Amino acid sequence: MKRWSLFVGAVAALAATVYVSAAGAAPIPGAHYESGTWTYADYVVFATNQGGPGLTGLGCPFVPHDGITEAETAYLTASYKGWYGPQIDDSFFQQVLIRAKVAGTVEDAAGNTYSVRGHFLDNSTQEIAGDLEFAGLGRVTLSGPAGTVSGTAEFRRVIGPDEFTFIFTSIKGCDLTP
């Protein structure tokens, strides 16, 4: 019985070592790990791929402020972690495998403040020195005194000028009360 316990303990230790090693390994040889937080944006956009202001193209009456005013009423942070690179052949592109978690608040055109929460994954190819830092799909929820919006969106982080963009591709729920 004692040998069996030692065997099970050795197998469990080996499995834990393999799991930890795999979690810390680069998904692609030559990739480098990065993590951090994006906290500032000159522009914040909530839109759909269906047209119309705000999320009206998908049937939800949520309309944030226009242009620069929208960024002045949005307080969002995006923490990210994952892998960049390596450079693909002799091109100026690299593979990206980054997760981002967005949290904060945004105010709609009616003056209601919504809590924003979302999780996104960017598993794409990006230009190494380009303006696009992140472009990942995920789920996002906006909730506040006027109701809740939840759905699938692409979150983009662009630099030059700094921008957070949420392009909703579908709305799973839109419960806004007038």
Write the DSSP assignment of 87-137 as a string of letters.
E-TTSSEEEEEEEEEEEEEEEBTTS-EEEEEEEEEEEEEEETTSSEEEEEE
Asked if residue 158 is part of any domain, the answer here is yes
Q: Which domain holds residue 82?
A: 30-176
**Does the residue 36 lie in any domain?**
yes
Residue 11 lies in a domain: no
In a domain, 1, yes or no: no
CB 35 within 8 A of CB 80: yes
DSSP letter at 78 equals E
- Tell me the residue ranges of DSSP E strands in 39-92: 43-48, 75-87
- Among residues 18, 44, 32, the alpha carbon closest in space to that of 142 is found at 44
Specify if 4 maps to a domain.
no
Domain assignment present for 109: yes
Per-residue pLDDT of the chain (178 residues; tens, 9 = 90+): 444 444 334 434 433 333 333 345 677 788 889 999 998 788 888 888 888 788 888 888 888 877 667 788 889 999 999 998 888 887 889 899 999 999 999 988 888 899 999 999 999 988 887 898 999 999 999 998 878 899 999 999 998 888 899 999 998 888 877 5
70 inside domain: yes
CB 163 within 8 A of CB 49: no
Task: Give 141's strand partners.
Answer: 117, 150
Edge-to-edge strand ranges of the sheet holding 32-38: 32-38, 75-87, 93-107, 113-127, 132-144, 147-158, 163-176, 43-48
> Do residues 76 and 90 touch, judged by C-beta distance below 8 A?
no
**Domains in the chain: how many in total?**
1
Residue 59 inside a domain? The answer is: yes
Please report the pLDDT score of residue 66 as a whole number.
74
Q: Which two tokens stand for residue 160?
A: 């030059």
Q: Looking at residue 67, what is its pLDDT?
A: 64
Backbone angles phi, psi at 77, to 5 degrees: -130, 150
